[in-house]
């Protein structure tokens, strides 16, 4: 019997699915029999992430936490708030065509969406964006989907430009007001794309944002797509198509991460917030500051699996 158990542990720990989980076949109290343990026996996933959190959406139960209140840059997870604020303040119809303006293509951080001065982007990676030019036209839906599926920064700048607010409030003012209404007490935004490391939050706050965002059908549908074709009308009136792909590598995996938003900056590391339907449990999972892109997804996968072990 013991040989079978040890063989099972060896199989599980050698599997790529569970290679982040630390199994303890030797970690027993004196006199404890390994046959009495629920297998696989584990202290939990081994994480590179600076902060992580798994919450049962239906019950509010915290199933795993690591530095859940640590204030950290969140990179393109910012785009979830941008999409939410746009939907709550939009004046454009879903199929309405919008012309790309030169300002939409300038990779700056704050202005004109806040009163703060502009800053240049410094990153080891080229910021994601749609392949569009000033004067071309796209539908509001395609812009919205491009911002969430591909994490296109120029798409989010267009959404912010299209959003009208009362008085002298900037788009970022609306973002921060929405954060307050959601009781995201340790969250602050200075621009709508996530290109600035000065956009910060906590894993605990991001679960609140995810729950609110996933109540919007438009957001759920967008981040639930693996592939999407954008229709672009050129300056000469000719149509062309651009195919974009989801940044969520776990979208069709066994852990059923049905919707997620990723983010990366040199300052933030690799981040992810998403909703899993694994084994009919609604789980919010947050990863902030993972060491690599692979770690981000492997750690999310391991946490989802491990937290609902029988």
CA–CA dist 293, 309 (Å, integer):
25
pLDDT 10s digits, 142-164: 999 999 999 999 999 999 999 97
Domain 51-307 carries which CATH code? 3.40.710.10
Quote the DSSP letter at residue 108: B
Give Rg (Cα) of the chain.
21
Predicted confidence at residue 15, as pLDDT, reads: 41
Q: What share of the chain is helix, strand, coil (3-state, %, to 5)?
A: 35, 25, 45
Dist. CA 136–CA 212, nearest whole Å: 33
Cα–Cα dist 289/267, whole Å: 9
pLDDT at 42 (0 to 100): 56
Query: For position 17, what pLDDT does the model report?
Result: 43
Report the pLDDT value the prediction gives residue 308, as an integer from 0 to 100.
84
**Cα 70 vs. chain centroid, distance in angstroms?**
17
pLDDT of residue 26: 34
The sheet that has 62-66: what strands, in order across it? Answer: 62-66, 51-56, 283-290, 269-276, 257-265
Beta carbons of 255 and 278 less than 8 angstroms apart = yes
Main-chain dihedrals φ then ψ at residue 225, nearest 5 degrees: -95, 135
Residue 11 is predicted with a pLDDT of 38
Three-state DSSP class for 228? strand
The reported pLDDT for the residue numbered 108 is 56
Please tell me the predicted confidence (pLDDT) of residue 124: 52
Euclidean distance between CA atoms 88 and 81, whole angstroms:
11
Q: How far apart are the C-alpha atoms of 13 and 184, rounded to whole Å?
A: 38
Sequence spans of domains, the chain = 2-45, 51-307
**pLDDT recorded at residue 106:** 79
Q: Give the residue ranges of the chain where pLDDT is below 50.
A: 1-35, 37, 39-40, 109-111, 113, 115-123
Reported as a single tens digit per residue, the pLDDT across 57-96 is: 999 999 999 999 999 999 999 999 999 999 999 889 999 9
What's the confidence (pLDDT) of residue 302? 94
Please tell me the distance from the alpha carbon of residue 266 to that of residue 47, in angstroms, as a whole number: 18
Q: Which stretches within 35-139 are classed as H helix?
A: 78-89
């Amino acid at each position: 019997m013991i040989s079978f158990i040890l063989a099972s542990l060896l199989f599980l720990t050698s599997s790529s699915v569970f290679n982040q989980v630390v199994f303890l076949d030797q970690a027993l109290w004196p006199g404890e029999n390994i046959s009495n343990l629920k297998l696989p026996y584990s202290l939990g996933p081994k994480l590179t992430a600076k902060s992580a959190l798994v919450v049962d959406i239906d019950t509010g139960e915290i199933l795993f936490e690591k530095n859940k209140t640590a204030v950290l840059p969140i990179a393109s997870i910012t785009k979830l708030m941008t999409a939410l604020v746009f939907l709550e303040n939009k004046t454009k119809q879903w199929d309405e065509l919008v012309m790309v303006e030169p300002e939409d293509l300038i990779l700056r951080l704050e202005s004109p969406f806040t009163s703060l001065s502009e800053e240049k982007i410094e990153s080891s990676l080229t910021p994601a964006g749609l392949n569009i030019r000033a004067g071309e036209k796209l539908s509001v839906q395609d812009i919205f989907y491009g911002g969430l599926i591909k994490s296109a920064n120029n798409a989010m700048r267009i959404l912010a430009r299209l959003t009208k607010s009362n008085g002298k409030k900037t788009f970022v003012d609306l973002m921060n007001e929405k954060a307050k209404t959601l009781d995201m007490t340790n969250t602050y935004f200075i621009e709508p794309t996530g290109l600035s490391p000065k956009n910060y939050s906590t894993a605990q706050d991001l679960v609140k944002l995810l729950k609110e965002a996933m109540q919007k059908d438009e957001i759920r549908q967008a981040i639930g797509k693996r592939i999407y074709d954008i229709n672009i009308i050129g300056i000469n009136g000719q149509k062309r198509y651009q195919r974009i792909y989801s940044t969520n590598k776990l979208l069709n995996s066994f852990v059923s991460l049905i919707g997620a938003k990723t983010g990366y900056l040199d300052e933030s590391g690799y981040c992810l917030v998403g909703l899993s339907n694994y084994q009919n449990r609604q789980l919010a999972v947050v990863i902030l500051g993972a060491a690599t892109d692979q770690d981000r997804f492997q750690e999310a996968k391991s946490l989802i699996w491990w937290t609902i072990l029988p």
